[in-house]
Amino acid sequence: MLDTRELGRRPGSQREVSRSVPAPADLGIEVLHVPEGSPVDLDLRTEAVMEGVLVTGTARAGLEGECVRCLGAIDDEIEVDLQELYVYDDLDTDPDEDDETSVLHDDLLDLEPVLRDAVVLALPFQPLCQPDCPGLCVECGARLAEDPDHRHEEPVDPRWAALTQLTEMQQDDTRQ
């Protein structure tokens, strides 16, 4: 919540707001999110306009998540742009007209829905620990990023085993 009383209602008046707020719960998506209670750094400018208060700025926060390829931990940061017009609630407007309108209640504006939307939009649906994460070994599940030269013996698929035998027999033939 941001108090806009100091800003006043004279169109054109502006205030810079820089503060750190604890992250609300469920900020992000399941596989990548801002840990609840961790700091969200806000750098905002509030500007009084005719119909309300225009908020623009950025929010920065730490991210925690899991790589979809190797299931390794992701430790990252996010910075999102925020822009929202909060309309004065005592103006003669029809609240059903547009459900998406943000309203200023008692000169307080609620940043959380705007922050939530911006963060969710900015997050990748398939987060990776690194852009070219090689994922897991299909045979043993080892993380290939930690062991790139990882190899296994010949596959044990019976069709391959039969082929191997055949090759060995041919080799025996040429030796005779």
Question: Is 82 a residue that touches Zn ion (CB under 5 A)?
Answer: no
- E strands, the chain, in order: 2-3, 14-22, 27-29, 32-34, 39-49, 52-66, 73-88, 102-104, 108-109
Site for Zn ion in 125-154 (CB under 5 A): 129, 133, 137, 139-140, 142
Q: Does 156 bind Zn ion (CB under 5 A)?
A: no
Residues 58-77 that bind Zn ion (CB under 5 A): 67, 69-70, 72
Closest CA to 114 of 93, 88, 90, 85: 85
Provide, rounded to whole angstroms, the least separation between the CB of residue 154 and Zn ion. Answer: 13
As measured in angstroms, the least distance from the Cβ of 74 to Zn ion is: 8
Question: For residue 8, is it left (φ>0), alpha (ψ between -120 and 50) or beta?
Answer: left
**In contact, 56 and 43? CB cutoff 8 Å:** no
Shortest distance in whole angstroms from residue 145 CB to Zn ion: 6
Q: Which residues bind Zn ion (CB under 5 A)?
A: 67, 69-70, 72, 129, 133, 137, 139-140, 142
